[in-house]
Amino acid sequence: GAGVSQSPSNKVTEKGKDVELRCDPISGHTALYWYRQSLGQGLEFLIYFQGNSAPDKSGLPSDRFSAERTGGSVSTLTIQRTQQEDSAVYLCASSSRTGGGYEQYFGPGTRLTVT
Amino acid sequence: DQQVKQNSPSLSVQEGRISILNCDYTNSMFDYFLWYKKYPAEGPTFLISISSIKDKNEDGRFTVFLNKSAKHLSLHIVPSQPGDSAVYFCAASTGGYGQNFVFGPGTRLSVLP
């Protein structure tokens, strides 16, 4: 079946502009996560959605970052007034329970470059 | 303060030999651990997981060992293959399904033919 998809795959934007990144999770997955990976760094948690519960926004680095998940499926991460330090690969993942455990399925990421 | 550490940024192993990737954590509340593999320009893919009630989990060439008292886990790949060359991330979670995962910085494994 289809995996997690993200669009666009690459985005170049000028400093100060707003950007929207999209994530289509695997159908039926109730949990959705956003991470970012800066050059040479590990994955940094941004935000997590679980069903209809209030999202865990504890990883968002500033109020310029926001995300929503419509209808429990597609999610959009919005970065307002982009800065050069926002340049990174933004990864989305969705999660399902498998037997006694659970795992995340990642999309290919969106590479954001702020010039 | 990093809660999940992978102190070796890179590792080189000869094809056919064992690869051992290490991960240390500081939060004793972590009770579920995962390993992911990441190729360039792709998202991470799940490899293997282990719950804190176990000390070993095996899946084919991949085995994860958990030492709770030392807050240490390791991933063993035997035998290593050139296609295993990738960045490996250790991740940890608390509280069960759907909780936030904390990732380590990754270890780049190179398997030499």
Would you kindly state where each structural domain of chain B is located, as residue ranges? 4-112
Cross-chain Cβ contact A48/B100 below 8 Å: yes
User: Which residues does B contribute to its contact with A (CB < 8 Å)?
Assistant: 6, 32, 34, 36, 41-46, 49, 51, 89, 91, 97-98, 100-106
Task: State residue B43 phi and psi, 5-degree precision.
Answer: -75, 160
B23: left (phi over 0), alpha (psi -120 to 50) or beta: beta
Among 2.60.40.10, 3.40.50.740, 3.60.70.12, 3.30.420.40, name the CATH number for the domain at B4-112.
Answer: 2.60.40.10
Using CB atoms, which residue from A97, A102, A109 is nearest to B43?
Answer: A109
Question: Higher model confidence: residue B99 or residue A35?
Answer: A35
Shortest Cα distance, chain B CAs vs residue A14, angstroms: 23
Assess whether pLDDT exceeds 90 at residue A39.
no
Per the model's pLDDT, the better-predicted residue between A94 and A51 turns out to be A94
DSSP codes joined into one string, A47-107: EEEETTSPPB-TT--STTEEEEEGGGS-EEEEE-S--GGG-EEEEEEEEEEETTEEEEEE-
Q: With an 8 Å Cβ cutoff, are B106 and A42 in contact?
A: yes
Q: Spell out the per-residue pLDDT of chain B, length 113, in tens.
A: 679 999 999 999 999 999 999 999 999 999 889 999 999 888 899 899 998 999 999 999 999 999 999 999 999 999 999 999 999 999 998 865 556 788 999 999 999 99
**The pLDDT of residue A90:** 97
What is the predicted pLDDT for the residue at A99? Answer: 47
The domains of chain A, with CATH numbers, are 5-109 (2.60.40.10)
Return residues 2-61 of A near B (CB < 8 Å). Answer: 4, 30-31, 33, 35, 41-45, 48, 50, 56, 58-59
